[in-house]
Amino acid sequence: MQYQAPLNDIKFVLFDVLEGTKLQDLEKYAEATPDLIAAVLEEAGKLAAEVLQPCNKAGDQEGCSYDPETHEVTTPTGFKEAYRQFTEAGWASLDAPVDFGGQGLPHTLKLIVDEMVCSANLSLGMYPGLTHGSISALYAHGSPELQQTYLGKLVSGEWTGTMCLTEPHCGTDLGLIRTKATPLDDGSYELEGTKIWITGGEHDLVDNIVHLVLAKLPGAPDSTKGISLFVVPKFLPDSGERNPVFCGGLEHKMGIKGSATAVMNFEKARGWLVGEPNDGMRSMFTMMNEARLMVGMQGMGVAEMAYQESLAFAMERLQGRSLSGPKNADGPADPIIVHPDVRRMLMRQKALNEGMRALALFIGTQLDLSVAHPEDDVREAADDIVQLLTPVVKSFLTDEGFNNANVGLQVLGGSGFTTDWPLEQLVRDSRITRIYEGTNGIQAMDLVGRKLALKGGRLIGRLFDLLNGYLTENPAAPHHDPLAAAVKALEEGTGWIATNGMQDPEEAGAAATPYLRLTALTVIAWLWSRMAAEAKRQLDAGEGNTPLLQAKLVSAQFYFDKILPEAGCLLADLRSGKASVMGLEDDQWVA
């Protein structure tokens, strides 16, 4: 089936619930009127369905091909033309800086477009997605000379960018990297080393690829405090000379086969320092944090596509009769959507998808406030929420993106297990999202090990102020009592980690994943209460899209009945401590 952008749901959440109409009140986003945003979303939906989706299957079936003699990579059929249309229409520059050719539109809009792109073609979306992170890192930390050299071409999409972090012997523990950078007399550096799992490290979509590379200077500390960041182009911009950074091969992967995941060998390649020496991690985190939000939207995009495919199948597939009597009396059987267990799966997809989208757009609006609001305290509060919930967005949306694809495959039954239907590709493609840009376990550790204590606990305090403020100011809010119970559980879980994690870091580590999930379910419950309240208000006033609003009320009820009760189990999980997690001795694992 052809992808249909969920525009009605997006507009309801963005404009009616999150007051996205007020983005235009910020000077930076004065042009982002609701009419303009709606028009952009309409066109993005068409692009996803008509340009990106048609070459998605070729991306999976053909994959990328590598020539060991030339070290060049060819992308699948249709990718080059689709990428050309994507960039020529300006989609690569949507929220990029205006002073380097970008459109300067809200980050929220970029997140929505990311969802659409990833629903239609996750592999192709990786190329401009990583480039956007390169733009942010160079814009925040690059010298004026580097910005003038690279940003214009990256913003337009004429060049693409990469993140070169991981090496064969180290992933998360970047302090172990061995790539070295030797200073040259002209102020540049020679880089030597090997990087692996480099998304878009080599391909034929553009004329030049700009690598952002972590490396160590001579005499640098042997830890993350000794890491510097360098920009290393495939072709030197001043002379057009080929830089000796070569693809050594492509990874053979479970999914996202249209995305070139490369081994990159730096053979005394010339590079230039970004930011200060030994301060590369701070510069790279600008890129990584943005990438983590993008990966969250990958999970969201897959979840939406899986829902659309499984819903369409369930409405058409005839099998058995309804337990309450035939619904398709003139046919040989009823469509499987009449069966309670099939509806259970579809409702889980729908309620989680709409809740996750609300979470993502909430973070998007907070991100826009953090960079554009004129008042310092508003910017600070918004930034605190973005920092706190970025690992939650990355982890929960990718966990449930994969789960919803898996549930969608189950709806299709045996058909879902075949390559005749797209669900099995969605399952394979989405599995990596829980791993790259920091595994979801690492995200959970970031949340409990760093974010909870950051700024004296101010970040988590901001969140509780939002949640408890809503409950206090809206005593008649839909689902008030179960939301209040979830907030209380999150407060108790936070207190447990603060007490026990301070005494024993392993206790915090054992509690991290259930705590992150508890946080996600609670924040989404708050958003579902807000969505239900707005849906009821519009229905009572005779406004809006009646079927959508009625469905919102049912989906909210499903969320609070069938999904949020997990919060109690998660609290019990984290309170049980580390004993059974850490209890086995080495000789007991295979006793």
The identity of residue 185, as a single letter, is D
Establish whether 27 is a catalytic residue.
no
Q: Residue 403 has which token pair?
A: 């789960």
- Cβ atoms of 97 and 155 within 8 Å: the answer is yes
Which of 297, 289, 305, 357 has its CA nearest to residue 114?
A: 297
Give dist(CA 540, CA 346) in Å, integer.
27
- What Rg, from alpha-carbon coordinates, does the chain have? 24
- Cβ atoms of 427 and 412 within 8 Å: the answer is no
Cβ-defined contacts of 369-375 (< 8 Å, 24+): 369/26, 371/28, 371/107, 372/26, 372/27, 372/28, 372/29, 373/26, 374/26, 374/27
The identity of residue 25, as a single letter, is D
- Cβ atoms of 91 and 82 within 8 Å: the answer is no
- Cβ atoms of 71 and 260 within 8 Å: the answer is no
Q: Catalytic residue among 437, 492, 507, 566, which? A: 437
Phi-psi map region of 85: left, alpha, beta (phi>0 left; psi -120 to 50 alpha): alpha
Q: Residue 437 has which token pair?
A: 């840009």
> What are the residues whose beta carbons fall under 8 Å from the beta carbon of 135, sequence distance 6 or more?
96, 97, 100, 102, 151, 154, 155, 161
Which of 216, 210, 213 has its CA nearest to residue 182?
A: 216
- Cβ atoms of 51 and 86 within 8 Å: the answer is yes
Where in the sequence numbering do the catalytic residues fall? Answer: 437
